[in-house]
Amino acid sequence: MIINSSLDEVKRRESALKYIASQVKEKGRNSLHDLSGLAGGFPVSESDLMLLETYAGPAYFSESLQKEGIVHLGGEKVLAFNRTSAAILATILALVKPGEEVIHYLPQLPSHPSIPRSAKLQGASYREYDSIKDFKPGEETSLVVITGSTMDHQIIPLDDFEKIIKISHQQGVKVLVDDASGARLRTVLYNQPRAMDMGADLVVTSTDKLMNGPRAGLMSGETQLIDQIADKAHQFGLEAQPPVIAGIIRALETFNPQIIIDSIERKDKLHSKLKKLVKGVEKTPTGVMISEDKIWEEVKTPETNLPISKREVATLMAMILLKDHNIVTIPAVGMPGVTATIRLDMASADSNTMEDSQIVNAITDSLQKLRKIIFDEEKCLNILYES
């Protein structure tokens, strides 16, 4: 075992961030290719910066936030948070009592860790389902969470979405839709309605997913629920501050769904090139991905058991892509518990800083290196944790 705990994952992340910082310092931001799809843009203007220094700013920004947020998500009132995870935590703190239950439906496991962790923190029990057959709220259930699009961009079928909302409401249970990426993927690529228009009570989206905004969470819902959640958010410091709110507003104003639509063509081309190299490379709605299982298939040898796990192999691959090729992917820079699937998102702002051939070469080289080092614990530890 070379990754033993979430503390090790923190160390891995620090090593990745240190490497990134050193590259930015030596060669500039353009030397990096952030294909994570989570680059966290901050498109504020000079005049916004002035407003941040005055009392007028927060007042002005909160008015624009309501307007732009409701255009994007629907609903009656919006609230901005430091993270999507913060919005989920505030909602569970506000709507679920200790001893009650949160149940979560998502198109494919694993779920985002913020949901089970928040339930645990509140002393609530937690169940999760990726099959509609098993989904059943119980006596104790006080919140249903639906993930519209998973971390690996698996999209919920519209039928299931409708059924879950219906079943939950029949039992008088509120529904929060975690639409971190889904608020754009589902609506732009799959022509699904916005979560609020489907009858959800609350929805939260991540303003840096498929959108050039800061990493933050934007929630919408009925006024009364939002006020209840805002109260908890303020008690625990979970709400976004004016500079982040300014970034969210400008990102919403400049949001262009065409960029997501255009990424499909690029993705198809890249996928057919990579397929010759990695059997299990899959398409995502806006890019390609290689799961830990598929990376494992590429590097395992028939005669020996590998001394490391699938997750470790995939994380190593992401760190090699970063440290040898300056390609930023989620398993390298993500928080503990993050998915180990390597996703190359062609809707990323940086996707046009690389040719397909460069990406193909980087994957070829990384796999070759991976095959060489997986039996050498020292080398693996070095790639994961050294800076």
Ligand X SMILES: *Cc1c(COP(=O)(O)O)cnc(C)c1O
Footprint of ligand X (CB under 6 A): 83-85, 112, 114, 147, 150-151, 178, 180-181, 206, 215, 217
- E strands of 273-373, at which residues? 282-283, 287-290, 327-328, 342-345
Count of H helices and E strands in the chain?
A: 16, 12
Measured from the CB atom, the residue of 44 and 115 that comes closer to ligand X is 115
| CB 357 to ligand X: min, Å | 30
Burial of 365 (0-12, 13-18, 19+ CB in 10 A): middle
Measured from the CB atom, the residue of 23 and 154 that comes closer to ligand X is 154
- The residue type of 275 is K
Region for 336 from its dihedrals, namely left if φ exceeds 0, alpha if ψ lies in -120 to 50, beta otherwise: beta
Q: How many CB atoms lie within 10 A of CB 364?
A: 13
| CB 130 to ligand X: min, Å | 13
Measured from the CB atom, the residue of 260 and 362 that comes closer to ligand X is 260
Contact 92, 143 (CB under 8 A): yes
Measured from the CB atom, the residue of 38 and 383 that comes closer to ligand X is 38
| CB 148 to ligand X: min, Å | 8
Measured from the CB atom, the residue of 180 and 278 that comes closer to ligand X is 180
| CB 358 to ligand X: min, Å | 27
State the Cα–Cα distance between residues 67 and 61, nearest whole angstrom: 10
- The residue type of 342 is I
| CB 324 to ligand X: min, Å | 26
